[in-house]
Amino acid sequence: MMKVSAQNKAFAMLLSFGLVAGCSSTGDTMEEDGYGYDSGSDVAAIDQEGGSTVYGGEDGEGVSSSVLSDEERAEARAKAEQEALRNITTFYFDFDTSEIKQEARNALVTHARFLSSNPRQQVRLEGHADERGSKEYNLALGERRAKAVERFLVVNGASRGQIETVSYGEEKPVVRGSSESAYAQNRRVELIFK
Amino acid sequence: MFKKQNSKRGLAKRNLTVIGWLMAMCFVASSARAELLIRITEGANSAIPVAVVPFAESGAMPAGDKVSSIVQADLTMSGEFKPLDPSKMLSLPSERSEVYFRDWRMLGQRYVLVGQLTSNSGRVEARYELFDVNREQRILGETAAAPAGNVRSLAHHISDRVYEAITGEPGAFSTKLAYVTLTGSGKNSVYRLHISDIDGQRSKVRLESGEPILSPAWSPDGKKLAYVSFETGKPVIYIHELATGKRTKAADFPGLNSAPAWSPDGKSLLMTLSKDGNAEVYEKNLASGKITKLTNHWAIDTEAAWDHAGKGVFFTSDRSGGPQIYYMERPGAEARRITFGSRYNARARPDSKGEYVYYVHQRERSFHIARRNLKTDEEFIVTRTGTDESPSVSPNGRMLIYATEQGGKGVLTVVSADGGAAYSLPASEGEVREPAWGPITR
């Protein structure tokens, strides 16, 4: 159990580096700035997580070579965890934002790695918005959400050529109705592996 | 035939027949489906009392609604008139000599419309007169004719003439609506692009697809529609010639191809493309195909619309952190933010006179249509429903149609531009959204 959480932390660390590297390597600072609150909260999240996890990650790696059966068990567990994360293919957003939520990151990193180790695999990212506001703005918002996920996947190892994005705006809700919970489930990006 | 119609511009009563035939031709092409119903929800207190006297008839009249009933419904629908119930009329005059002004004054009427219909070899002719009760004067006296199958066109034409004689503004009763209906859900969804009269009658399907259709926009001559269709799995802008059904792709770039809006001269199309990375407003010259980028910002820029004069451009941008309306004095000029005081203002639609601009406006948790006076900057909330979007102004600027929800289903609602009166157009089946009010094409 200790080990798993250490792995998780190592994960978060990698992810933090990935994000930071991504921001500076795209050279697209204008665009990142464009997300104002998005990039701001990203940085805050990295600082918090990063500060407390960097050492945890290294410790975990240091202890890993003990008994073979343990290692196998851990591997199996890790594999199961990856599988579980791979099954998460819908990612949710807050109203009028395209910020990737903290809880979405492990699964997205897993998808990115899967894409990276399967270069022929293609994925379609479908961006959606809730029904509130105007349709055409929501179309652009859905696209921005899909592109935020695309960027995240690319920063974490997927190649741009594997990814196709499309926005449906508010046209294809999963849940009909005008409740907060319906809205929350409709503001999403779906990954569709082909 | 179109030329003929154009050359007779202004001779309304003559060319109504031509229009009638044109309509007949257009409408044969497809069958009716998912008719809109009409539900008058309220009337304005300031509505003008007018008596539409049932027209006298000679010859066999076509089955269906009576011409005078349609005129009465049109005037009621506008919210600006309060027609007298025919059962309360003391007499049913059909020409000047039979009109006793004292009686109509007693009934509190300001105007009286009387008329006669003659049916002859497949055509219906109307002679009609409108009287000002207080002045005891005839203010309109005309004849108009249409094929018997098109008495609705004849009635809407009379409504337009009455409306104009009283208000001084052209009527919009002969104009058309474009809208999208959705039936079924998930994989069984069917989207249909319709055109109908503004009372929802005579609806015809122009496009049917299993994928979303949105943003229909009328060309200024009313002969074409631009819209976004997802039929290829992504948003593509099409231009659809209504008389022939011929379609061309106006934009099919990687990413977004959305929010088409015609220039007032019909020569170019504003659109939102994200081919260069994020949503920007572009102008496409339809003759040369040349595309010019009008905005250049990392934020979302979309939902462009020309101002009334065809000089400046309104659009939505979230460059301040949330969507707001901006205005460029000429294409590509520096953008000036014009909406404040709410975190969400989007999809501006100006009226035809340059007085007001309408847009989607968030107030607390609700989305309404707001109207801004462009001279005084005064903002007024026009709609009282909740999830309101897609405002479209009638060509005379007196009415507004928008999409909202009733009982969890999408309906269209029409209000007078000051929010005074309303009728809604629910679909008989499924939902209806994306209304676009067509131009006056007389």
Specify the pLDDT at position B40.
65
Between the alpha carbon of residue B171 and those of residues B137, B156, B157, B248, the distances in Å are: 21, 9, 9, 32
Question: What pLDDT sits at residue A6?
Answer: 42
- Map out the domains of chain A as residue ranges: 1-87, 89-194
Residues A31, B278: C-beta atoms closer than 8 Å: yes
Structure tokens at A7: 């792995």
Compute chain B's Rg from CA coordinates.
22
**Mean pLDDT, chain A, integer:** 75
Q: What is the pLDDT of residues B320-358, one digit of tens each?
A: 999 999 999 999 899 999 999 899 999 999 999 999 999
d(CA B173, CA B49): 19
Q: Hey, what CATH topology would domain A89-194 get? A: 60s Ribosomal Protein L30; Chain: A; (3.30.1330)
Any CB–CB contact under 8 A between A132 and chain B? yes
- The confidence score (pLDDT) of residue B45 equals 65
The answer to whether the CB atoms of A133 and B346 lie below 8 A apart is yes
CB contact under 8 A, A136 and B274: no
Reference B441, options B227, B251, B242; nearest CA is B242
**pLDDT interval class at B61 (50, 70, 90):** confident
Extract the tokens encoding A104: 């979405």
Does the pLDDT at position B282 exceed 50? yes
B278 chain-A contacts, CB cut-off 8 A: 31, 34, 143-144, 147
Q: Which amino acid is at B134?
A: N
- Give residue-wise pLDDT tens across range B90-132: 999 999 999 999 999 999 999 999 999 999 989 999 999 999 9
For A89-117, how does the pLDDT look when each residue is reduced to its tens digit (9 = 90+)?
Answer: 999 999 999 999 999 999 999 999 999 99
Residues forming beta bridges with residue B403, ordered by sequence position: B389, B412
Judge whether A71 is closer than 8 Å to chain B, CB to CB. Answer: no
Please tell me the predicted confidence (pLDDT) of residue A22: 35
Residue B427 has pLDDT above 90, yes or no: no
* CATH superfamily of domain region B176-437: TolB, C-terminal domain (2.120.10.30)
Which of B380-393 are b and which e, b meaning 16 or more Cβ less than 10 Å from the residue's Cβ? eebbebebbbbbbb
CA distances, A155 to each of A51, A57, A85, B5, B278 (Å) = 21, 20, 18, 61, 18
Which whole number is the average pLDDT over B179-202?
A: 94
Average per-residue pLDDT in chain B?
A: 90
Query: pLDDT at residue B243 above 60?
Result: yes
Quote the DSSP letter at residue B149. G
Residues 5-34 of A with CB under 8 A from B: 30-31, 33-34
User: CB-based contact (8 Å) between B367 and chain A?
Assistant: yes
Q: How far is B360 from chain A (nearest CA, A)?
A: 7
Beta strands per DSSP E along B133-220: 137-147, 176-183, 190-197, 204-209, 213-218
B9/B24 Cα distance (integer angstroms): 20
Rounded to an integer, what distance in angstroms lies between the CA atom of residue B216 and that of residue B212?
12
What pLDDT is recorded for position B79? 87
Torsion of the alpha carbons at B346, B351, B357 and B358, rounded to the nearest 10: -50
Average pLDDT of the segment spanning B415-424: 83
Instruction: Say what the pLDDT of residue A43 is.
Output: 30
Kindly report the nearest CA distance between residue A56 and chain B, in angstroms.
37
Cβ separation A136–B389 shorter than 8 A = no
Model pLDDT for residues A126-142, shown as the tens digit of each residue: 999 999 999 999 999 99
Structural domain B2-167, CATH architecture: 3-Layer(aba) Sandwich (3.40)
Among the partner residues B386, B389, B405, nearest to A134 by beta-carbon distance = B389
State yes or no: pLDDT of B216 exceeds 60. Answer: yes
> Which residues are CB-contacts of B22 (< 8 A; sequence separation ≥ 6)?
B1, B2, B5, B243
pLDDT of B442 reads 63
Q: Do B234 and A166 touch (CB under 8 A)?
A: yes
**Above 50 in pLDDT, residue B413?**
yes
Answer yes or no: do A171 and B212 touch at CB < 8 A. Answer: yes
Contacts of B402 in chain A (CB under 8 A): none
What's the angle, vertex CA A164, arms to CA A136 and CA A168, rounded to 5?
A: 25
Q: Coil, strand or helix: which one is B326? A: strand
> What is the DSSP code string of B373-393?
ETTT--EEE---SSB-EEEEE
Facing A137 at nearest CB: one of B277, B346, B386: B346
Q: Annotate B248-267 with DSSP letters as a single string.
A: EEEE--SS-EEEEEE-TTSS
Task: Note the pLDDT tens digit of each residue in B296-308.
Answer: 999 999 999 999 9
Q: Look at residue B7 and tell me whether its pLDDT is greater than 70.
A: no
pLDDT, block means (10 residues), chain A with 194 residues: 43 40 35 33 32 34 60 88 92 96 95 97 98 96 98 97 97 91 96 95
Q: Give yes or no for residue B274 having a pLDDT over 90.
A: yes
Cβ-based contacts of B234 with chain A (< 8 Å): 166
- Average pLDDT (B206-218) is 97
| Chain B residues close to A134, C-beta within 8 Å | 303, 316, 323, 346-347, 360, 389-390
* Contact check, Cβ <8 Å, A137/B408: no
Whether A98 contacts chain B with CB within 8 A: no
Residues 6+ apart with CB under 8 A from B62: B119, B124, B148, B149, B151
Task: Lowest mean pLDDT of B29-33, B201-205, B332-336, name the range.
Answer: B29-33
CB pair distance less than 8 Å for B256 and A139: yes
- State the amino acid at position A170 in one-letter form: E
ipTM value of the model?
A: 0.87
Structure tokens at A65: 């070579």
Comparing B77 with A39, which gets the higher pLDDT? B77
Query: Hey, where are the domains in chain B?
Result: 2-167, 176-437
A49: burial class by Cβ within 10 Å (0-12, 13-18, 19+)? middle
Alpha-carbon distance of B361 to B324, in angstroms, equals 9
Q: pLDDT band for position B5 (50/70/90)?
A: very low
Whether residues A34 and B303 touch (CB distance < 8 A) is answered with: no
Does B62 or B294 have the greater pLDDT score?
A: B294
Q: How many CB pairs under 8 A join A and B?
A: 101
Instruction: Tell me which chain B residue has its CA closest to the CA of residue A144.
Output: B278
Contact A192/B at CB under 8 A: no
The answer, for B431 touching chain A at a CB cutoff of 8 Å, is no
Cα B208–Cα B209–Cα B211 angle in degrees, nearest 5 = 150
Q: Which helix (H) or strand (E) holds B106?
A: helix B101-106
Cβ(B288)–Cβ(B301) below 8 Å: no
Rg (CA), chain A: 18
Looking at chain B, the whole-number percentage of residues with pLDDT higher than 90 is 79
Interface residue B408 vs chain A (CB under 8 A): yes
Instruction: Locate the chain B residue with the closest alpha carbon to A174.
Output: B186
A160 in contact with B at a CB cutoff of 8 Å?
no
Residues 225-244 of chain B with CB under 8 A from chain A are 230, 233-235
